[in-house]
């Protein structure tokens, strides 16, 4: 049986669920009411826009796997570079152990970079 204490404890969760359900619906209804032109459709609106130049080829064409490899490598090296900032801020407090740890970290990073370069993952063509 549900008592009043349980209802009070779960009230914030229920309010949040209600808001999570109502907000998207209300936003879509308000946008539909305020949208100019009533959302009329024509062929020109459905075409892909490429800086005023007529589209060349299919918009959902295949992208070479090299693009994804390069993108993943960029993310990996970018995230690893982020670790340098807190280290630089706390450099004096970390002392020689922190310096040696960062040298090991950068060494592993350079080994990964050299491996990717040797495998040709950084060449774009």
Q: Are residues 76 and 125 in the same domain?
A: yes
Whole domain around residue 7: which residue ranges? Answer: 1-38
**111: closest CA among 87, 76, 82, 83?**
76
Cβ-contact 48, 55 below 8 angstroms = yes
| Residue 55, in any domain of the structure | no
- CATH code assigned at 82: 1.20.58.1610
Cβ-contact 110, 116 below 8 angstroms = no
Block residue for tokens 């914030």: 12
Q: What's the total number of domains in the chain?
A: 2
Q: Are residues 81 and 113 in the same domain?
A: yes
Over residues 62-92, the pLDDT tens digits come to 777 788 888 888 888 888 888 888 888 988 9
Q: Are residues 21 and 65 in the same domain?
A: no
pLDDT of res. 39:
57
Over residues 11-48, the pLDDT tens digits come to 899 999 999 999 999 999 998 888 876 556 677 766 66
């Amino acid at each position: 049986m549900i008592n009043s204490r349980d209802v009070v404890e779960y009230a914030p969760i229920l309010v949040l669920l209600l808001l999570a359900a109502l907000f998207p619906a209300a936003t879509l209804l308000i946008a539909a009411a305020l949208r100019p032109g009533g959302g009329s459709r024509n062929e020109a609106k459905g075409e892909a826009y490429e800086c005023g130049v007529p589209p060349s080829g299919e918009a959902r064409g295949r992208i070479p796997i090299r693009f994804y490899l390069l993108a993943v490598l960029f993310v990996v090296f970018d995230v690893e570079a982020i670790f340098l900032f807190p280290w630089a801020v706390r450099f004096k407090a970390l002392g020689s152990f922190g310096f040696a740890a960062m040298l090991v970290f950068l060494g592993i990073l350079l080994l990964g970079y050299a491996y990717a370069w040797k495998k040709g993952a950084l060449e774009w063509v």
